[in-house]
Structure 1
Amino acid sequence: MKELPKINQLRNFQAIIRYGSIRTASQALFQTQPAMTKSLQELERILGVSLLARGPQGMTLTKMGRIFEPRVNMILNDLERAIDELHQSNELSQGTISFGCSHLPAFSIMPSLINKFQEQHPASSITIVEGQLSELMTSLRLGRLDFFIGIASPEISMSEFSVEYSINAEFCIIARNGHPLIKSTSLDQLKGAKWYFPNARTGHYKTLEKFIFPQGRANGDTLIYGDSMSIGEQLVLNKDYLFVGPKAILKVPYIKDLISMVPIKEELPDALYILIYKQQQGLTPLAKRLMDEISTTCSDFFSDNT
């Protein structure tokens, strides 16, 4: 059997990439610089290739290093998950969960759900990364995220993922109550409006943008892209921006009396909301429990709009 790298060698390699130099990486991991250098040299000897090269901006990946790095990340993530799963099996209330979440779930159902889950599992550690599937796909594939809840992207293959839950959600144009265009009945009447769109290069929001602006934006149209629902909320409520989102957003308790649907005759394309995780990776018991609770809550939240 070929000699295999040691875990500490892989961790050191990962740290050098993260910090950009052997000196900084050795300080971060409380090692001496010679020990870190020897670890990298031993790793390169075992593999028979050069992984890192010193340049004016610090240590950079070679061609072989760029091939090797994603595998290292997967190996270390899987090992951490395996250890965490053992700990969770021994004590279910403990463990770490990281998951991705698109804007509507983060804005609506997630705060109270996560708060309740944390109260039930006070020793758990939860990380939520907000964004669209196209932005978080790499983290899902590398095992940095346990699962994702949000809008499916037709450009992305689901072959390596298990779909735990999916539902079609009707979309509409949303404005504050009293907006000058609140009674508009067609997209033509919205020309010259101000819009706030999630920052997504592909997927459903790009489809919606093409639907609303089939000939491109007209003179006077203002379009701001962003990943912050709090900023979007302020633009909609205080600066007369329009927002495109699921009809379900109209029943979010703290905002439902402040916003309304613009009654245009055109029907916007529906979005498919999905809850997915990587098949090969599986889920820890604690992550599975949280995912099940999210699935149930999403089903209730969207039930009036299906």
Structure 2
Amino acid sequence: MDLPRLLDGRLKLRHLVLMDALSKQRSVVGAAASLHVTQPVATRSLHELEEILGVQLYERGPRGVTPTVYGEAFTEHARAVLAQLNQASRHVGELADAARGTVVVGTHLAGSNVLLPAAIARLKAERPLLTVVVREGTPESLLIELEAGRIDLIIGRLTAPSSESVTRTPLYHESVQLVVRAEHPLAAKRELGLGELLDYPWILPGVETALRRELEEFFTRHGVPLPENRVECTSFLTVRHLLLETDVIAALPTLIPREDMRLTTLPVTLEHVGHSVGITLSAGRRLSPSGLALVTELRSVSATMADK
């Protein structure tokens, strides 16, 4: 691609924002609505960008748009540029007022119940005017937010090594156990077979998660079908409420029942199911001072949680 095409003044920031929105919404109508512009305006901007680049970025269809190989590649670069601009704005703001700042952290089930709250509490004790924004989501959705610069770091299960785009740093290892409420009919049992658990409702993580795949493999190894009576959920608040109010069984990190006396674990060993909890950062972007401060507290808290 001829470099001057992107530097001749025709490419605007709105084009990059549109690419990000289109890749998330997968439709021009949805992207326009998220950006608070009309559909014709969004369509015209897309045509302008394709003319600037000289390639087709999306395949149009009756159910929306699908990015071409060019669209996927350019979206990655567009998000990187937006992330750097977002970071620059916040960095300058923090330099102007060192006592304040904002750090946005994404989290999923592992690490959200003990590690992150403890680290935030310590951070706020030292810097009370610093704002911490916590966003919950699936690992996949949080990676997109990290790539686009809408969050600074992710705390949760590490399911892959570092790559060119992200850096993953383990903090501690945590096993997974089957959890029920303390008054559950099976809570007093000293021995249980996996088949005995199928008469009860289950909470399973979503199909897009690594833990779900590992649980499916666990059931397959034991010749037991996946529970048919199930809820698929990764929201910690929803999972905890269902556990406390019903007879559901859930596969959860060990620290969750350990920190709540209303919950207990069942005597069923989930071999080969466990994970490292750690920090995921963008490999190409420096953390703000606020982000660095939170990482420092996360490392300090996790040092007391090894091999839980």
Aligned to 2:12, what secondary structure does the other structure show? Answer: helix
Q: Is the 8 A contact 1:163 1:274 kept in 2?
A: yes
- Corresponding letter in the other structure for 1:244: A
1:226: how far off? 0.7
- Measured on the aligned residues, the alpha-carbon RMSD in Å equals 3.8
Partners of 1:61 and 1:206 in 2: how far apart?
A: 27
1:216: how far off? 4.2
- Report the count of equivalent residues: 294
1:198: how far off? 2.1
Partners of 2:223 and 2:51 in 1: how far apart?
A: 58
Partners of 1:267 and 1:37 in 2: how far apart?
A: 52
Q: Which moved more, 1:47-56 or 1:191-200?
A: 47-56
Partners of 1:82 and 1:118 in 2: how far apart?
A: 23
1:251: how far off? 3.1
1:84: how far off? 1.9
Q: Does 1:203 find its partner at 2:210?
A: yes
- Corresponding letter in the other structure for 1:246: P
Partners of 1:149 and 1:275 in 2: how far apart?
A: 5
Structure 2 gap ranges (5+): 23-27
Q: Do the aligned partners of residues 221 and 48 (structure 1) sit closer, same or farther apart at CA in structure 2, a change above 3 Å counting?
A: closer
Q: Does 1:136 find its partner at 2:142?
A: yes
Structure 1 gap ranges (5+): none
Q: Which residue of 2 aligns with 1:227?
A: 234
Task: Using structure 1 for the length normalisation, give the TM-score.
Answer: 0.76
Aligned to 1:170, what secondary structure does the other structure show? Answer: strand
Q: Do the aligned partners of residues 216 and 123 (structure 1) sit closer, same or farther apart at CA in structure 2, a change above 3 Å counting?
A: same
Partners of 1:7 and 1:119 in 2: how far apart?
A: 48
Q: Which moved more, 1:138-147 or 1:222-231?
A: 138-147
Q: Which residue of 1 aligns with 2:249?
A: 242
1:78: how far off? 1.1
Q: Which residue of 2 aligns with 1:270?
A: 274
1:290: how far off? 1.0
Q: Do the aligned partners of residues 266 and 187 (structure 1) sit closer, same or farther apart at CA in structure 2, a change above 3 Å counting?
A: farther
Q: Which residue of 1 aligns with 2:172?
A: 167
Partners of 2:60 and 2:175 in 1: how far apart?
A: 53
Q: Is the 8 A contact 1:172 1:268 kept in 2?
A: no
Q: Do the aligned partners of residues 16 and 278 (structure 1) sit closer, same or farther apart at CA in structure 2, a change above 3 Å counting?
A: closer
Q: Is the 8 A contact 1:169 1:246 kept in 2?
A: yes
Q: Is the 8 A contact 2:79 2:147 kept in 1?
A: no
1:177: how far off? 1.1
Partners of 2:228 and 2:21 in 1: how far apart?
A: 42
Partners of 1:53 and 1:222 in 2: how far apart?
A: 39
- Corresponding letter in the other structure for 1:140: L
Q: Which residue of 1 aligns with 2:105?
A: 99
1:93: how far off? 3.2
Partners of 1:200 and 1:100 in 2: how far apart?
A: 20
